[in-house]
């Protein structure tokens, strides 16, 4: 399949090192890959975590904020820093970026929905890559989508994307062996069964709000709307170009008919 429009979600586990501190090494490589993909005319939206992590770095916090008010404050500090990182990395390829902050209201309100869609379409015409994040700094519990994995699936549906790619620190969804241990990656998933959900519960990722469980939920949402989704290791070299070339990477969730 030729991909014309894709949504790439970059998770916290890809943006941080083994100590949990924000690190641009892997992000820089991903940006290089995105720049290469765009040469083939692919329209790309990036849904990025990391605002709270950037804010924590500035404030020298070692513990993830527990209350929504603390997360809102820390996110408001980190969000401009995060977009500056993207701006600097993409500028090396002469690519401009924009920032779009969303809540549940903008996605599901009909008029706001159309306004956002028109904004994305214009940004594509201007050859700008939108960097999307949930508006943590103002989003109340009623307005929050809840996780950037889920947000990325909604954005993919909004744009009628050809594929949703979730970058994490795991190679995909692993199945269990006879000893109830994680064994090999499941290359193709046609239906999210209770058995696959059991596998996911066994998989551990770095301490984040979402983790593999919400990635599975995001893939289910995409599948239900006819969009293929892939969970793949974002720390592997050139993983995005290989996906664009049709090579097998990570776990592919095949969509149902629209």
Spatial separation of the C-alpha atoms in residues 200 and 218, rounded to whole Å: 13
Angle (nearest 5°) at CA 248 between 243 and 253: 85
How does pLDDT run across 131-181, given as a tens digit for each residue?
998 875 554 443 344 578 999 999 999 999 999 999 998 899 888 777 767
- Can you give the pLDDT at residue 207? 45
**Average pLDDT value over all residues in the chain:** 86
Model pLDDT for residues 187-229, shown as the tens digit of each residue: 999 988 888 887 776 665 554 445 788 899 999 999 999 999 9
* b/e per residue 159-185 (b: at least 16 CB within 10 A): bebbbbbbbbbbbbbbbeeeeeeeeeb
**What is the rounded average pLDDT of the residues 24-49?**
94
> Domain segments of the chain: what residues?
5-253
Cα–chain-centroid distance for residue 8? 5
Bridge partners, 232 (sequence order):
167
Class of domain 5-253: alpha beta
pLDDT at 204: 58
Q: In this predicted model, which residue has the larger pLDDT, 69 or 91? A: 91
Cα four-point dihedral sign 170, 148, 162, 190? positive
CA-to-CA dists, residue 217 to 78, 109, 145, 241, angstroms = 27, 22, 13, 25
């Amino acid at each position: 399949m030729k991909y014309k429009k894709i949504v790439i979600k970059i998770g916290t586990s890809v943006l941080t090192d083994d100590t949990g501190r924000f690190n641009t090494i892997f992000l820089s490589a991903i940006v290089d890959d995105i720049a290469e993909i765009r040469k083939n005319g692919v329209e790309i939206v990036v849904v990025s975590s990391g605002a709270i992590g950037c804010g924590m770095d500035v404030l020298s916090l070692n513990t993830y904020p527990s209350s929504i008010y603390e997360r809102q404050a820390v996110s408001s500090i980190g969000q401009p820093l995060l977009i500056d990182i993207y701006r600097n990395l993409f500028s090396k390829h002469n690519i401009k970026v924009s920032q779009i902050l969303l809540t549940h209201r903008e996605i599901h309100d009909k008029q706001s929905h159309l306004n956002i869609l028109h904004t994305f379409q214009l940004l594509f015409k201007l050859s700008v890559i939108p960097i999307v994040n949930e508006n943590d700094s103002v989003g109340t519990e009623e307005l929050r989508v809840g996780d950037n994995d889920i947000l990325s699936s909604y954005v993919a549906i909004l744009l009628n994307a050809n594929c949703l790619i979730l970058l994490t620190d795991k190679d995909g969804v692993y199945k269990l062996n006879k000893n109830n241990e994680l064994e090999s990656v499941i290359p193709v998933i046609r239906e999210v069964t209770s058995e696959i959900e059991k596998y996911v519960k066994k998989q551990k990722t770095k301490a984040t709000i979402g983790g593999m469980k919400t990635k599975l939920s995001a893939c289910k949402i995409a599948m239900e709307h006819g969009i293929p989704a892939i969970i793949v290791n974002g720390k592997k070299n050139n993983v995005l170009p290989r996906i664009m070339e049709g090579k097998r990477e990570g776990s592919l969730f095949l969509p149902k008919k629209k």
